[in-house]
Amino acid sequence: MKFQPVIPKTRHRHGTALRVAIIGGAGLFLFTVLFFRLWSLQVVTGDEYLAEATENRTREIRVRPPRGRILDRDGEVLVDNRTSMALQLDPVEVPTEIPARRKLFSSVADLMDRDLDWVRKRYRTEVEDNPPGSPVTLASDVDDGLVFYLQEHQAEFPEVQVNRVFVRKYPRGFEAAHLLGSVGDVTADDLETTDDPDIQCGDVLGKAGIEQTYDETLRGTAGTTKYQVDSTGRVKGQLTSETPKPGDTLRLTLNQDVQTAGEAALSSIGLPGGFVAMDVNSGEILGMGSAPTFDPDIFTRPLTQNQVDDLYDEDLGAPLFNRAISGAYPVGSIYKPFTAIAALDAGEISANDVIQDGGQVEIADQVFTNAGKQPHGPVDLRRSLEVSSDVYYYLLGAKLNGTNKLQKWSDRFGIGRMTGIDLPGESAGFLPSKAAINKRDREEPNNPFAVPWVIGDNIQLAIGQGSLQADPLQMAVAYSALGNGGTVYKPRLVKQTEDSAGRVLAETEPEVARQIPIDPGAREVIMGGLHDAAQEPEGTSYGVFGGFPIPVAGKTGTAERPPNGDQAWYAVLAPYPDPEIVVITTIEQGGFGADTAAPVALQILSAYFDKQAKAVSGGTGAVE
Which parts of this chain interact with another protein (CB under 8 A)? 1-6, 8, 11-13, 15-17, 19-20, 22-24, 26-27, 30-31, 33-35, 37-39, 41-43, 45-50, 52-54, 56-57, 228-232, 236
CB of 240 to another protein, least distance (A): 16
Instruction: Say how far apart CA 236 and CA 230 lie, in whole Å.
Output: 7
Nearer to another protein, 56 or 350 (CB): 56
- CA pair distance 180, 170, nearest whole angstrom: 10
Task: For another protein, give the closer residue by CB, 22 or 61.
Answer: 22
Question: Considering the complex, what minimum distance in angstroms separates the CB of residue 299 from another protein?
Answer: 39
Q: Closest distance between another protein and the C-beta of residue 4, in Å?
A: 7
Max CA distance (Å), the chain: 163
Which residues sit opposite 63 in a β-bridge?
223
Minimum distance from residue 232 beta carbon to another protein (Å): 7
Residues 324/275, Cβ–Cβ less than 8 Å: yes
Closer to another protein by CB, 128 or 230: give it: 230
Least distance to another protein from the beta carbon of 427, Å? 51
- CA–CA distances in Å: residue 55 to residues 40, 48, 133, 231, 239: 21, 11, 19, 12, 12
User: Shortest distance, CB of residue 220 to another protein, whole angstroms?
Assistant: 33
Which positions ≥6 away from 291 have C-beta within 8 Å?
Answer: 263, 266, 267, 269, 271, 272, 273, 274, 317, 323
- Half-sphere exposure (Cβ direction) of 384: Cα atoms closer than 13 Å: 32
What is the rounded distance in angstroms from the CA atom of residue 506 to the CA atom of residue 512? 18
Return the number of the residue (8 or 445) whose C-beta is nearest another protein. 8
User: How far from each other are the two terminal CA atoms of the chain, in whole angstroms?
Assistant: 149
Cα–Cα distance measured from residue 4 to residue 587, given in angstroms and rounded to the nearest whole number: 129
| Closest CB 180 distance from another protein, rounded Å | 45
* Shortest reach from residue 225's CB to another protein, in Å: 18
| Shortest distance, position 67 Cβ to another protein, whole Å | 36
> Minimum CB separation from another protein for residue 134, in Å?
21
Compare residues 50 and 100 and give the one whose CB is closer to another protein.
Answer: 50
Please give the backbone phi and psi of residue 106, each rounded to the nearest 5 degrees, phi first. -75, -30
Strands 564-574 and 581-587: antiparallel
| Sequence-ordered alpha helix ranges (H) in 313-372 | 323-326, 336-346
Whether 67 and 204 have beta carbons less than 8 Å apart is answered as: yes
11 vs 164, which CB is nearer to another protein? Answer: 11
Closer to another protein by CB, 1 or 623: give it.
1
Q: Give the span between the Cα atoms of 559 and 590, in whole angstroms.
A: 10
47/144 with CB nearer another protein: 47
Q: Judged by CB, which is closer to another protein: 8, or 619?
A: 8
Using N-to-C axis directions, what is the helix angle for 144-152 and 98-112, rounded to 10°? 140
Pick between residue 195 and residue 230 the one whose CB is nearest to another protein: 230
With CA atoms as reference, report the closest residue to 320 among 337, 338, 307.
307
